[in-house]
Amino acid sequence: MEYHVINAFTDKLFGGNPAGVCLPEAWPTSSTMQSIAAENNLSETAFLVKKESGRYGLRWFTPTLEIDLCGHATLASAFVLFGEREKDANELKFDTASGTLTVTREGERLCLNFPATPAQECPAYPSISEALGVKPLAVFKSIDFLVLVEDEEVLRRIAPDFVVLMQLKAEAGIDHDRFGVIVTAPGTECDFVSRYFAPHVGVPEDPVTGRAHCTLTPFWSNQLGKKVMEARQLSARVGDLRCEDCGGRVKISGKAVRYLKGTIEQPQ
């Protein structure tokens, strides 16, 4: 099986978020894909299969489970296809668990068109502040929790207690593991900054999270009165994104760079 590792939302070889991109001829079993994702041990591994329609089926796996939306691995998948198999295309369509997702070329950037997931204010559960070691200005919830803190320096200093953060699922009465905690603040060199923690899906801190920006984009658009914004995710690897609020959709664009191309031996 052809395999790539692409660093997404960066133009630096060891920056951004590395995603595995697998190109099997036909779908492996779900258990095989999960085993490959666990072996890769990246935040997400994407699997792509071309359909008769010309679209691609796309599925994403963390090291522990399949998820229904992933931004950086979609950008990475498009990067591979534009460079290897769809060189003349300017747009790609992916059929996914979150509906049809589109990626277009915009100069050196690739632009994701994703559903917006606005957040509503919710209780500031004690496990959030205890785990993060900060008192939030406010807490909101969509697919993920969004925690607003005072400024970029507060955000940088957070060192989560993941044992405590794992208690949030029971405290908030959540019956699944497909959620994380976005922490965000105004940026000093961009419009807003964030970090993303998702220990329930086997990803303590995700380097750069496209899905989180489906929530961050409408939130900060409302806060700042802007439709187009520059964002930075302040993980150790750092990632840069351009975000546009389009009402029920968001556009999230960024660059990517290849780290590896190889072959995965499939079980017989």
Give the mean model confidence (pLDDT) for residues 141-152: 98
pLDDT in the model for residue 82: 98
pLDDT in the model for residue 159: 98
- 268: in domain: no
Q: Do 33 and 52 fall within a single domain?
A: yes
Percentage of the chain exceeding pLDDT 90: 99
- 170: in domain: yes
pLDDT in the model for residue 83: 96
What rounded mean pLDDT belongs to the chain? Answer: 97
Q: Do 54 and 138 fall within a single domain?
A: no
- 104: in domain: yes
pLDDT in the model for residue 268: 64
- 240: in domain: yes
Is-contact 144 212, C-beta < 8 A? Answer: yes
- The 10s digit of each residue's pLDDT in 42-100 is 999 999 999 999 999 999 999 999 999 999 999 999 999 999 999 999 999 999 999 99
- Give the domain extent around 163: 120-245
Q: List, in order, residues 6 or more apart from 31 with CB less than 8 Å away.
A: none
CA distance 71 to 215: 12
Total number of domains in the chain: 2
Give the mean model confidence (pLDDT) for residues 221-245: 98
Q: Quote the tokens at residue 229.
A: 């914004």
pTM value?
Answer: 0.96
Q: List, in order, residues 6 or more apart from 148 with CB less than 8 Å away.
A: 136, 137, 138, 139, 140, 184, 185
Q: Do 127 and 237 fall within a single domain?
A: yes
- 148: in domain: yes
The answer on pLDDT for 31 being more than 80 is yes
Q: Do 169 and 109 fall within a single domain?
A: no
The answer on pLDDT for 116 being more than 80 is yes
Active site residue 44: yes
Phi and psi, residue 254, nearest 5°: -170, 175
Q: Do 179 and 228 fall within a single domain?
A: yes
Q: Do 177 and 109 fall within a single domain?
A: no
- 45: in domain: yes
Q: Do 125 and 239 fall within a single domain?
A: yes
Collapsing DSSP to helix, strand or coil, 167 comes out as: coil
- Here the CATH number for the domain that contains residue 175 is 3.10.310.10
242: amino acid identity, one letter = R
Q: Do 56 and 143 fall within a single domain?
A: no
pLDDT in the model for residue 25: 94
Q: Do 158 and 237 fall within a single domain?
A: yes
H-type alpha helices, the chain: 30-40, 71-84, 126-132, 152-157, 162-165, 168-171, 213-224
Q: Do 218 and 241 fall within a single domain?
A: yes
Collapsing DSSP to helix, strand or coil, 240 comes out as: strand
pLDDT in the model for residue 234: 98
User: CB-based burial of residue 153 (10 Å sphere; 0-12 exposed, 13-18 middle, 19+ buried)?
Assistant: exposed
Q: How far is CA 123 from the centre of its chain?
A: 25
**Annotated catalytic residue: which of 25, 44, 91, 121?**
44
Give the mean model confidence (pLDDT) for residues 92-111: 96
Q: Do 130 and 231 fall within a single domain?
A: yes
H-type alpha helices, 42-106: 71-84
Q: Do 102 and 22 fall within a single domain?
A: yes
